[in-house]
């Protein structure tokens, strides 16, 4: 597998987190695991990246969190807000356009014959 | 390693290592640690389910979460922004409680109206306006409006906090100096105004010192 450089994620982390939460409320660790398993291990994001990014999305009003007590431990579950659903749709549209454009240029083409 | 550390649960020791590197509002730091503990508990359970021993599961979970410094560094910007937002909101909310006494004390003659008369009577009003605009714009560009407005970075939010605190200090010092140099008879209302301003000056100096420490710690 070609190693994935972390800077490639820049600008797409919000979309990934919103996409994972589309399935329903989840806690931070489950979100990290969902990204890892959902990308077959290609994106194994560090804790110090995902949790602060979730806090920022909450500050922006795109997700909200609720605390529960489970087995005597406090747990924070995140879920999409109405603005989060809208942002996810917009991210998807932008990504579809962007990836189609990049794929059109990067796809392997037969080399022109020099003969 | 001390005796206390050697007997400490590895997860507790790891979280203690993160805790000493987190800087920001106390409740926010506690929430971060609660969230990390819950995540670590999940990770430990997963490793136990894969057949690891308790010690190996804890070690694997800690390894998965990364070095305490890296985790704490990841939260630095969010915690600094939370501190800036909370401090600026407090200035905006408590500002009128200080200002009302000075307004009652220095209000212009009832026969003189308008903004110019008000500024001549209370010359720090432009400073207050600047502080309010700085604070309000920082709150706007670090909150929900970042969906539409360019986001203010944590460092700029801290700079704005220092600017608001500094403007408050300058404004309060000017007002107290004005009162002291007019030679007007001391009225009870002046006591409230000076006490409120001295309280805000003290709080502002503490805010500036705290931001300096926060920046130094986050370097």
Run of H or E including A73: strand A73-80
CA B210 to chain centre: 8
Establish if A47 belongs to a structural domain.
yes
**Per-residue pLDDT averaged across A31-35, rounded?**
95
Q: What is the pLDDT of residue B152?
A: 96
Establish if B101 belongs to a structural domain.
yes
Name chain B contacts of A34, Cβ cutoff 8 Å.
none
Q: What is the pLDDT of residue B1?
A: 44
Q: Is A27 helix (H, G, I), strand (E, B) or coil?
A: strand
Domain-terminating residue out of B16, B31, B66: B66
Establish if A106 belongs to a structural domain.
no
- A4 has pLDDT over 70: no
Structure confidence by residue, pLDDT tens digits, B119-129: 888 889 999 99
- Lowest mean per-residue pLDDT among A10-14, A63-67, B90-94: A10-14
Could you tell me if B144 and B211 lie in one domain?
yes
Structure confidence by residue, pLDDT tens digits, B21-44: 999 999 999 999 999 999 999 999
Whether residue A89 lies within 8 A of chain B, CB to CB, comes out as: no
Domain-terminating residue out of B39, B66, B93: B66
Distance from C-alpha of A73 to C-alpha of A76, rounded to nearest angstrom: 10
B71·A47 Cβ contact <8 A: yes
Could you tell me if B43 and B147 lie in one domain?
no
Any idea what the Cα angle at residue A95 is, between residues A89 and A101, rounded to 5°? Answer: 145
B70·A83 Cβ contact <8 A: no
Run of H or E including A64: strand A63-70
Run of H or E including A68: strand A63-70
Name chain A contacts of B63, Cβ cutoff 8 Å.
none
Q: What is the pLDDT of residue A107?
A: 85
Distance from C-alpha of B102 to C-alpha of A66, rounded to nearest angstrom: 43
- Lowest mean per-residue pLDDT among B4-13, B29-38, B84-93: B4-13
Residue B111 per-residue DSSP state: T
Task: Give me the phi and psi of A27, to 5 degrees please.
Answer: -90, 165
Q: Is B153 helix (H, G, I), strand (E, B) or coil?
A: coil
Q: How many domains does chain A have?
A: 1
**Minimal Cα–Cα distance from A55 to chain B, Å?**
7
The partner residues of A107 in beta bridges, in order of sequence, read: none
Establish if B72 belongs to a structural domain.
no
Establish if A105 belongs to a structural domain.
no
Q: What is the pLDDT of residue A1?
A: 56
The label of the residue with tokens 């209370």 reads B122
Could you tell me the pLDDT band of residue B83, with boundaries at 50, 70 and 90? very high
Could you tell me if B96 and B172 lie in one domain?
yes
Q: Which of A29, A70, A76 lies at the smallest CB-CB distance from B43? A: A29
Residue A24 per-residue DSSP state: S
For residues B122, B125, B126, B131, the Cα torsion angle rounded to the nearest 10 degrees is 150
- A75 has pLDDT over 90: yes
Q: What percent of chain B has pLDDT over 90?
A: 79
Structural domain span for residue B55: 3-66
Q: What is the pLDDT of residue A11?
A: 78
Structure confidence by residue, pLDDT tens digits, B164-217: 999 999 999 999 999 888 876 778 899 999 999 999 999 999 999 999 999 988
Q: Which of A48, A61, A73 lies at the smallest CB-CB distance from B66? A: A48
Q: Which of A52, A70, A76 lies at the smallest CB-CB distance from B74? A: A52
Residue A97 per-residue DSSP state: H
Could you tell me if B62 and B130 lie in one domain?
no
Establish if B28 belongs to a structural domain.
yes
Query: CA Rg, chain B, in Å?
Result: 24
**Which residues lie below 8 Å from residue A95, measured CB to CB, with a gap of 6+?**
A12, A15
Structural domain span for residue A56: 6-100
- Best interface-test mutation with A: which of B18, B24, B74 has the largest number of A CBs within 10 A? B74
Establish if A27 belongs to a structural domain.
yes
- B2 has pLDDT over 50: no
* Residue B192 burial (CB count, 10 A): 16
**Minimal Cα–Cα distance from A61 to chain B, Å?**
5
Nearest residue of chain B to residue A55 (CA atoms): B78
B42·A60 Cβ contact <8 A: no
Q: Helices marked H in B50-67 — which ranges?
A: 54-65
Structure confidence by residue, pLDDT tens digits, A16-25: 999 999 999 9
Could you tell me if B26 and B86 lie in one domain?
no
CA A109 to chain centre: 30
- A114 has pLDDT over 50: yes
- B93 has pLDDT over 80: yes
- B4 has pLDDT over 50: no
* Residue B114 burial (CB count, 10 A): 9
Q: What is the pLDDT of residue B121?
A: 84
Q: What is the pLDDT of residue B107?
A: 81
Name chain A contacts of B65, Cβ cutoff 8 Å.
47
Please give the residue that has the higher pLDDT: either A42 or B185.
A42
**Per-residue pLDDT averaged across A52-74, rounded?**
94
**Minimal Cα–Cα distance from B83 to chain A, Å?**
13
ipTM: 0.86
Whether residue A12 lies within 8 A of chain B, CB to CB, comes out as: no
Establish if B73 belongs to a structural domain.
no
B66·A46 Cβ contact <8 A: yes
A28·B71 Cβ contact <8 A: no
Q: How many domains does chain B have?
A: 2
């Amino acid at each position: 597998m070609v190693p994935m450089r972390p800077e490639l994620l820049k600008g797409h982390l919000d979309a990934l987190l919103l996409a994972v939460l589309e399935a329903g409320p989840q806690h931070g660790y489950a979100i990290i695991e969902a990204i890892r398993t959902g990308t077959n291990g290609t994106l194994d994001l560090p804790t110090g990246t995902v949790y602060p990014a979730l806090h920022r999305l909450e500050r922006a009003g795109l997700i909200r969190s609720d605390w529960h007590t489970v087995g005597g431990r406090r747990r924070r579950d995140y879920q999409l807000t109405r603005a989060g659903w809208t942002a996810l749709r917009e991210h998807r549209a932008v990504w579809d356009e962007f990836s189609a454009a990049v794929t059109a240029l990067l796809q392997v083409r037969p080399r022109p014959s020099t003969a | 390693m001390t005796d206390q550390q050697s007997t400490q649960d590895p997860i507790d020791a790891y979280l203690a290592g993160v805790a000493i590197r987190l800087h920001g509002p106390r409740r926010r730091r506690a929430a971060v640690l609660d969230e990390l503990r819950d995540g670590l508990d999940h990770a430990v359970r997963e490793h136990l389910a894969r057949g690891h021993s308790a010690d190996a599961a804890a070690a694997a979970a800690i390894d998965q979460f990364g070095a305490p410094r890296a985790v704490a560094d990841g939260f630095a910007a969010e915690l600094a922004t939370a501190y800036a937002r909370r401090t600026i909101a407090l200035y905006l909310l408590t500002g009128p409680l200080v200002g009302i006494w000075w307004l009652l004390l220095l209000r212009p003659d009832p026969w003189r109206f308008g903004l110019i008369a008000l500024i001549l009577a209370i010359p720090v009003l432009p400073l207050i306006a600047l502080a309010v605009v700085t604070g309000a714009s920082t709150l706007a560009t670090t909150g929900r409006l970042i969906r539409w407005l360019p986001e203010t970075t944590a460092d700029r939010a801290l700079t704005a906090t220092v600017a608001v605190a500094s403007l408050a200090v300058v404004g309060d010092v000017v007002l107290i100096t004005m009162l002291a140099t007019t030679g007007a008879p001391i009225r009870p209302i002046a006591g409230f105004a000076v006490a409120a301003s001295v309280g805000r000056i003290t709080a502002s100096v503490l805010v500036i010192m705290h931001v300096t420490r926060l920046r130094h710690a986050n370097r």
